[in-house]
Amino acid sequence: MSTFTTRPEIQGSVGVVTSTHWIASSVGMAMLERGGNAFDAAVAAGLVLQVVEPHLNGPGGDMPAILWHAGAGRADVICAQGPAPAGATIDHYRSLGLTHVPGDGLLSTVIPGAWDGWMLMLRDYGRLSLRDVLEPAIHYASAGHPCLPRVADTIAGLAGFFRDAWPTSHATWLPDGTPPVAGQMLRNPVLARTWSRLLSEAEGHTGRDRQIQAARDAFYRGFIAEEIGRWLDGNALPDSDGRRHNAVLTAQDMAGYSAHVERPVWGGYRDWQIAKCGPWTQGPVLLQSLGLLDGMGLEGLDPHGGDLVHVVTEAMKLAHADREVYLADPDVCDVPLEGLLSPDYLAERRTLIGAQASHDLRPGILPGFDAQHAAMMDALARLSPTDGAVYEPTMAHLARKRGDTVHLDVIDAEGNMVAATPSGGWLQSSPAIPELGFCLNTRAQMFWLEEGLPGSLAPGKRPRTTLSPSLALHADGTRLAFGTPGGDQQDQWQVLFFLYVAEFGMGLQQALDAPLFHTTHAPASFYPRSRSPGQIMVEESYGPAVIEDLRARGHDVQTAPPMSIGRLTAAARDPSGLLRAGASPRLMQAYAIGR
């Protein structure tokens, strides 16, 4: 097996930071250099990602994170996924003549969660000041940063729509009437002023914790919430289908929100324990996929061969089918996680993995969930026929209007770790709020406008998100943080990355450089929830022989150019204390830094 990598695996002892943008990684490392810990570095890097990748996340978005608190020897999950507003009822949306929540515009917004999640992490786990972690983001918003080609393409492709439908977005992203040019400095002075005002108000209070709390209050109960509420109340704007709607989000919804800490969900694979966020994310599908694969003799397979691609694909199909029937906000729905991850259930499901590709959607039926299973299958059957599209937002050949996600991993010298996957608030998803310099999220599109389903829209309910960071602990003391953008494909690529490392002994960068694939067999989480039965997308780097072998097994194989699928990053701490990190070369912007 070749050990050539596109870039070195970073190694050090002071700290490592890896993210989907080199500037964010640099800022995170700067926090470690000035005495901050992994949590400080993650917050600073996360806020910078909102500036340098505005087509993939923003201040109005959401953020799940998994933390390893070295001093306590404990993993925590920060849930910064905002719930549906009080006015977001199925009856209201149906009264507007809608059969689904729009994928963009004002009506698809849930309460923004990301800001409160970052501030919760800073206050309760970090040690630097609010000014320390916020100043880099203010700087890059004000002074500018080199515009990414995809940002330039996204804005250029939407210039006419912004001009005609969302004039505030046109003023924000095309201030002189012309789209930005890739490589030239892109600025957002309004956002810089928003954050500067927030920082000034926060520093009117004495003490670090009070300042951070004041920053939370300014966003959710102060001038930012007031401006969001005022602007939404006065505007009815079209979505991309031309339908003009008012938002349901209000300042009152924001005033009652706060991010919170949860326990992770745990699963196992051989000598590893893997932590994921709860079933309000798709994270448990990774645990179920690995549970199905554990004990199937993968160690004897070629990591880049057809046998492995086939068996991993079939396991992921089963896990994602169960996702549709069972995963939802556990505060509102009964989610049978123990049953889904039980050895007996996994053994029963494992028998469905055969020599040929399945083209059927086959969720299991757990005791007491017969009616829910039937209702969900009926709802899926009523969807429009598949159009054969491969809904993976990171892929270059797809529509530019679709948003995606960012990711970061940080480890400090003390062994604290963060894996976070922020998203939402994409510049292309919702009109810019002119006095604030950012837009809102569209996460409500994950809900169903049908009663009686696990994903049915309801006020106060969290949408089931695709955002899914990972933390893995080995029995020998090795710890691993990893994740990726990519919507429904996030946990698929993470399964393969984890197997490359845990089963086949690859180094981090070697695993990140290795070929990737995913299946679009299960329904997408985003409207129109298309599925392509039996279809897999395979990088051409697997080679003609493997691709033909997969077709012979009954897979509907679509190919993508080498190095075009996924944007994984990863960081690890060895038992010796050595820290390691890597970043995918795909799109040539993710970067790992450390010393």
Instruction: DSSP for 185-249, please give it.
Output: EE--HHHHHHHHHHHHHHTTSSSHHHHHHHHHHHHHTSHHHHHHHHHHHT--EE-TTS-EE----
> Could you tell me the two tokens for 222?
């102060």
Query: What is the CA 561 to chain-centroid distance, rounded?
Result: 23
Instruction: Tell me the average pLDDT across 532-553.
Output: 98
| Closest of 546, 530, 541, 519 to residue 357, by C-alpha | 519
Between 2 and 108, the higher pLDDT residue = 108
> Could you tell me the two tokens for 332?
């509102």
CA distance 193 to 43: 19
| Closest of 481, 340, 494 to residue 408, by C-alpha | 481
Instruction: Tell me the average pLDDT across 450-455.
Output: 97
Residue 252 CB neighbour total at 10 angstroms:
12
**pLDDT, tens digit, 9 for 90 and up, residues 36-80:** 999 999 999 999 999 999 999 999 999 999 999 999 999 999 999
| Closest of 198, 152, 241, 264 to residue 59, by C-alpha | 198
Alpha helices in 2-71 (DSSP H): 22-33, 38-52
Alpha helices in 256-305 (DSSP H): 284-293
Q: What CATH number is attached to the domain comprising 266?
A: 1.10.246.130
Q: What kind and span of H or E run contains 338?
A: helix 337-340
Between 399 and 503, the higher pLDDT residue = 503
In the three-class reduction of DSSP (H, G, I as helix; E, B as strand; rest coil), residue 582 is classed as strand
> Could you tell me the two tokens for 560?
């993508």
CA distance 291 to 267: 7
CA distance 373 to 457: 18
Q: Is residue 292 part of a domain?
A: yes
Query: Is 60 exceeded by the pLDDT of residue 175?
Result: yes
pLDDT of 391 reads 41
Q: Is residue 39 part of a domain?
A: no
pLDDT of 399 reads 34
Query: Is 70 exceeded by the pLDDT of residue 195?
Result: yes
Instruction: Tell me the average pLDDT across 191-210.
Output: 98
CA torsion 298→299→304→310, rounded to 10°?
A: -10
Q: Is residue 158 part of a domain?
A: no
The pTM score is: 0.96
Q: Is residue 96 part of a domain?
A: no
Max CA distance (Å), the chain: 68
- Domain range spanning residue 573? 262-401+465-594
**pLDDT, tens digit, 9 for 90 and up, residues 76-88:** 999 999 999 999 9
CA distance 24 to 18: 8
CB 11 within 8 A of CB 580: yes
- Distances in Å between the alpha carbon of 361 and those of 170, 266, 328, 376, 415? 43, 26, 19, 12, 42
Query: Is 80 exceeded by the pLDDT of residue 518?
Result: yes
Q: Is residue 480 part of a domain?
A: yes
Phi-psi region of 388 (alpha: psi -120 to 50; beta: other; left: phi over 0): left
Q: What percent of the chain has pLDDT over 70?
A: 96
**pLDDT, tens digit, 9 for 90 and up, residues 279-289:** 999 999 999 99
| 3-7, 32-36, 132-136, 385-389: range with lowest mean pLDDT | 385-389
| Closest of 188, 111, 148 to residue 24, by C-alpha | 148
CA distance 460 to 27: 35
pLDDT of 527 reads 82
Residue 425: what are its φ and ψ, rounded to 5°?
70, 30
Instruction: Tell me the average pLDDT across 439-444.
Output: 96
451 CB-contact burial (10 Å; exposed 0-12 / middle 13-18 / buried 19+): exposed
Q: Is residue 567 part of a domain?
A: yes
- 364: amino acid identity, one letter: G
| Closest of 348, 447, 575, 512 to residue 4, by C-alpha | 512
Residue 183 CB neighbour total at 10 angstroms:
11
Rg (CA), the chain: 22
Q: Are strands 556-560 and 535-539 parallel, antiparallel or unpaired?
A: parallel
pLDDT band for position 386 (cuts 50, 70, 90) = low
Question: What is the DSSP secondary structure assignment for residue 465, as one 8-state letter?
Answer: B
**What is the length of the chain?**
595
CB within 8 Å of 360: residues ≥ 6 apart: 533
Number of domains, the chain: 1
**pLDDT, tens digit, 9 for 90 and up, residues 314-336:** 999 999 999 999 999 999 999 99
Query: Is 50 exceeded by the pLDDT of residue 371?
Result: yes
Q: Is residue 179 part of a domain?
A: no
Q: Is residue 476 part of a domain?
A: yes
CA distance 577 to 447: 43
**pLDDT, tens digit, 9 for 90 and up, residues 249-260:** 999 999 999 999
> Could you tell me the two tokens for 163?
């001009």
Instruction: Tell me the average pLDDT across 159-175.
Output: 97
CA distance 225 to 121: 21
pLDDT of 396 reads 33
pLDDT band for position 233 (cuts 50, 70, 90) = very high
Question: What is the DSSP secondary structure assignment for residue 261, as one 8-state letter?
Answer: E
Mean pLDDT of the chain: 95
- Distances in Å between the alpha carbon of 420 and those of 10, 54, 157, 467? 19, 17, 29, 9
CA distance 314 to 320: 10
CA distance 422 to 79: 11
Residue 55: what are its φ and ψ, rounded to 5°?
-85, -5
Q: Are strands 10-12 and 579-583 parallel, antiparallel or unpaired?
A: antiparallel
- Distances in Å between the alpha carbon of 278 and those of 266, 283, 376, 483? 9, 7, 20, 15
Residue carrying structure tokens 């700087």: 139
- 57: amino acid identity, one letter: N
Phi-psi region of 264 (alpha: psi -120 to 50; beta: other; left: phi over 0): beta
pLDDT band for position 295 (cuts 50, 70, 90) = confident
CA distance 195 to 266: 37
CB 231 within 8 A of CB 432: no
